[in-house]
């Protein structure tokens, strides 16, 4: 089995050590795989992130119908790969803001 994985587990802020990495998975046969390089580039954002491309995720019926990703095991789909990628970026941007807000609100606390 061939996997391509980008891992960015080094926390950029001390509070992020408490956060589990976000895991994004996709099937190489799915239309979203055309966005693989961009999905992997998301790992350069400032949160823990794993991007994994699999030969198959056993969602073959869905795979032939629409682009999809599994994000922390949850299905995210959209008929347009660009729109799906934008949804993922927006979701991660929200999570990044939440991490930043949490850091401001209580990072210094033990």
> Mind listing the pLDDT tens digit for each residue in 3-42?
444 444 444 455 544 556 778 899 999 998 888 888 877 7
Residue 81: is its pLDDT beyond 80? yes
Q: What is the pLDDT of residue 91?
A: 80
The pTM assigned to this predicted structure is 0.70
> Mind listing the pLDDT tens digit for each residue in 44-74?
654 567 888 899 999 999 999 999 999 889 9
Contact assessment for residue 87 and residue 95, using Cβ atoms and an 8 Å cutoff:
no
The residue extents of the domains of the chain are: 4-106
């Amino acid at each position: 089995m061939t996997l391509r994985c980008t891992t960015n587990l080094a926390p950029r802020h001390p509070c992020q050590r408490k956060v589990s990495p976000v895991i994004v998975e996709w099937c190489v046969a799915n239309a979203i795989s055309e966005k693989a390089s961009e999905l992997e580039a998301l790992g350069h954002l400032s949160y823990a992130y794993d991007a994994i491309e699999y030969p198959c995720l056993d969602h073959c019926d869905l795979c032939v119908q629409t682009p999809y990703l599994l994000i922390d095991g949850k299905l995210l789909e959209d008929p347009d790969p660009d729109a799906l990628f934008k949804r993922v970026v927006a979701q991660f941007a929200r999570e990044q803001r939440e991490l930043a807000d949490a850091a401001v609100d209580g990072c210094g606390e033990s």
